[in-house]
Amino acid sequence: MKQLVILSGKGGTGKTSVTAAFAHLAAQGPFAGRVLLADADVDAANLELVLQPRRLDTQPFRGGQVAVIDEDRCLICGDCESACRFDAIVETDGRWVIDPIACDGCAACVYQCPTESIRMQEQRVGECRLSDSRYGPLHHAHLHPGQENSGKLVTQVRQRARQQALDEERRLVIVDGPPGIGCPVIAAVSGADLALLVTEPTVSGIHDLRRALGTVQHFGVPALVCINKADVYPKGARDIETFCEANGIAMVGSIPFDPSIASALVAGEAVTAYRPEAPASLALSALWERLVSVLVEPPTRQDDGFAEPITDNLNQPGTFQ
Amino acid sequence: MRIVVASGKGGTGKTTVSTSLAQVATERDAVRFLDCDVEAPNAALFLHPVLDSQREVGIRVPRVDADACTYCGRCAEVCQFHAIAVVGQKTLVFDDLCHGCGSCAWMCPEQAISETLSVTGVIDSGTTPEGIAFAQGVMNVGQTMGVPILRELKKWTPARLPEAPGAPRRALEILDAPPGASCPVVETLRGADLVLLVTEPTPFGLHDLKQVVAIARELGIPAGVVINRDGIGDDAVGAWCAESGLPILLRIPMERRIAEAIAGGRTLVDAAPEYRPGFRDLLERLVAGVNP
């Protein structure tokens, strides 16, 4: 069983549109009928909007805890406030109150309270969902707005997807990843077999691609790159190609800017199903063929995708060559 | 006055809007700009600040004095994140799991635990050519927690606020938020006076906009909407905003010429000066209060 994760660094480069197209395209070929999907962008879980699946199961997800003060026992001494490093204990009408949004769940206040007036309370922060889509089972989630622990929820979605894939001897899990490079991204990428980074030829896209590649390589996952909206700024696309070449990372496709992608979203379909002859669909089909060959026969250490880690300063803005 | 530019969905144009808003604002106001997307900070690529100052930031993690430690295990007991463990005659600290709350150090009966800074990123600061006081948080690659960097970033104050001769100017803070709808967005929004939500007219844009609107409402922050790439997709966003009483303050049509200029690192109002009056109007409406 292989796990392919779609990432980008910068948001809005087209991860979910690409994932939906792959889900559609994978219905043919070596993975036909053996695919499982996972939406690991729990903050902005959009794959469901394209696939319009039928919900089979929902499980509550309990994340971290938050502190609660028992007003009757509180002596209003303020020890909790001085202990809190998250500015979560605020004075309201002469009393100390915990701001559950700011509370990190560390329980430092619980241990500092001289009258044992503070306890920790579990938060229901979201739910894990299993749905049946036209292209296979979809594991996804909903994080209640503003909640913490999205990394843990991503881990849970991936674990559930992996377990079902193993149980049913499915051959491929396609994971739609979150933007950025932090906790949820690390949860989405760790242990995957292959990462596809969808970038765009803009100064921001390139800057964030470098950071995302650094993260993926840090966790030892081979990475390939494709450029979406490649024709919007040809110089940027050439810069990405040069960068990938210099760092030994394989560029596996270029998708042109195509209004069909937005139309397909509105229609609730993968663009490759909605308009198979559209320029973006043709490019996505070619890209998928390449990915299939990599997934069927993974690259070896010397080949593309197992490049040496990027070692130059990934924090510098605008230093992209 | 602190204005946060947020979106939910990534790539809708937060940085496009925040950088142009800052450039227009600086004509009359003293502007402080914070790039709060510590995982993918991009505003500097458009505002071109001279970043002449850098400070390492992170969290305070415990270090155990092996001579004083009696392996009683109290530290491991109070840690909610399994970041410290006693195994036989050894106390192990896992920096990556530590949230830096300090509980283990306070609760150690032998006072065997001190704290040291574990660097997770930097705060760069400086000034842009038009005089915007600029700072960005940059999380190191491989780190998981951006919020502590964000907290430090929000405390940054420029050594000297840019002053113009003549009348005193309004002090405006513009914060470029990260995408998503979880803790980093909440931390960016805490303490804001207003939030400007940039979305795109697609089902994705709408779905993710609703998530951030829910956060803004919970925090009691008035919100206004900018629809970017107007004309792609549908107008379900416009209809939902009307239903929900969210004012649409600006629509930016999808124009290839603008997309190309922004791709190359120009701000919207630089590439298309005809948008300046629109941004001026947007700013004044924000300052006057979007939800009168």
**Angle, CA B67 vertex, CA B62 and CA B72 arms, to 5°:** 70
In a domain? residue B124: no
- State whether B191 and B94 are in the same domain: no
The sign one gets for the Cα dihedral B219, A12, B259, B39 is positive
> Which of B80, B102, B118 delimits the end of a domain?
B118
Q: Say whether the ipTM exceeds 0.95.
A: no
Tell me how many domains chain B contains. 2
pLDDT confidence bin for A321, thresholds 50/70/90: very low
Task: Please compute the mean of the pLDDT values over residues A196-214 and round it to a whole number.
Answer: 96
| pTM attached to this predicted model | 0.92
- State whether B67 and B28 are in the same domain: no
pLDDT above 60: residue A300: no
pLDDT above 60: residue A250: yes
Stretches where chain B sits below pLDDT 70 are: 159-168, 290-292
As beta bridge partners, residue B126 has B51, B134
Whether residue B100 contacts residue B140, with contact meaning beta carbons closer than 8 Å, is answered with: no
Share of chain A above pLDDT 70, in %: 93
| Candidates A11, A203, A233; nearest CB to B179 | A11
Q: Rounded to the nearest 10 degrees, what angle do helices A15-25 and A279-296 cross at?
A: 70
The CATH number of residue B9's host domain is 3.40.50.300
In a domain? residue B172: yes
pLDDT at A145: 85
Nearest CA in chain A to B204: A46
Would you call B10 and A266 a contact, using CB atoms and an 8 Å cutoff? no
- Please tell me the distance from the alpha carbon of residue B238 to that of residue B242, in angstroms, as a whole number: 6
pLDDT confidence bin for A312, thresholds 50/70/90: low
Would you call A266 and B233 a contact, using CB atoms and an 8 Å cutoff? yes
Nearest CA in chain A to B59: A85
In a domain? residue B153: no
Considering only CA atoms, which of A183, A177, A267 is closest in space to residue A223?
A: A177
Long-range Cβ contacts of A154-159 (<8 Å, 24+ apart):
A154/A40, A154/A42, A154/A178, A154/A184, A154/A187, A154/A188, A155/A187, A156/A61, A156/A128, A157/A38, A157/A39, A157/A40, A157/A42, A157/A128, A158/A3, A158/A38, A158/A40, A158/A187, A158/A188, A158/A191
pLDDT at A307: 53
Would you call B12 and A12 a contact, using CB atoms and an 8 Å cutoff? yes
Shortest CA gap A187–chain B (Å): 9
Burial pattern B186-218, b for ≥16 Cβ within 10 A else e, equals: bbbbbebebbbbbbbbbbbbbbbbbbbbebbee
pLDDT at B197: 98
In a domain? residue B143: no
pLDDT at B167: 59
**Which residues of chain B make contact with A240, given a CB cutoff of 8 A?**
none
Tell me the pLDDT tens digit for each residue of B11-63: 999 999 999 999 999 999 999 999 999 999 999 999 999 999 999 999 999 99
In a domain? residue B150: no
Would you call A46 and B203 a contact, using CB atoms and an 8 Å cutoff? yes
Would you call A181 and B141 a contact, using CB atoms and an 8 Å cutoff? yes
Tell me the pLDDT tens digit for each residue of A23-45: 999 998 999 999 999 999 999 99
Whether residue A273 contacts residue A255, with contact meaning beta carbons closer than 8 Å, is answered with: no
Nearest CA in chain A to B120: A182
- State whether B188 and B259 are in the same domain: yes
- Please tell me the distance from the alpha carbon of residue B61 to that of residue B75, in angstroms, as a whole number: 12
pLDDT above 50: residue A135: yes
pLDDT confidence bin for A309, thresholds 50/70/90: low
Nearest CA in chain A to B185: A146
pLDDT confidence bin for A320, thresholds 50/70/90: very low
The CATH number of residue B113's host domain is 3.30.70.20
| Candidates B122, B183, B260; nearest CB to A232 | B260
pLDDT at B158: 80
Which residue range forms the structural domain that includes residue B255? 2-36+168-288
**Which residues of chain A make contact with B204, given a CB cutoff of 8 A?**
16, 44, 46, 49, 265
In a domain? residue B98: yes
pLDDT at A125: 86
- Please tell me the distance from the alpha carbon of residue B187 to that of residue A101, in angstroms, as a whole number: 9
Contact residues for A42 (Cβ-Cβ < 8 A; gap 6+): A126, A140, A141, A142, A143, A150, A153, A154, A157, A178, A184, B182
- State whether B184 and B258 are in the same domain: yes
Shortest CA gap A184–chain B (Å): 8
**Bridging pattern class, strands B171-176 and B2-6:** parallel
Least confident of A78-87, A255-264, A291-300, B180-189: A291-300
pLDDT at A317: 43
> Which of B118, B133, B154 delimits the end of a domain?
B118
- State whether B31 and B100 are in the same domain: no
Considering only CA atoms, which of B227, B229, B228 is closest in space to residue B238?
A: B227
**Which residues of chain A make contact with B41, given a CB cutoff of 8 A?**
317
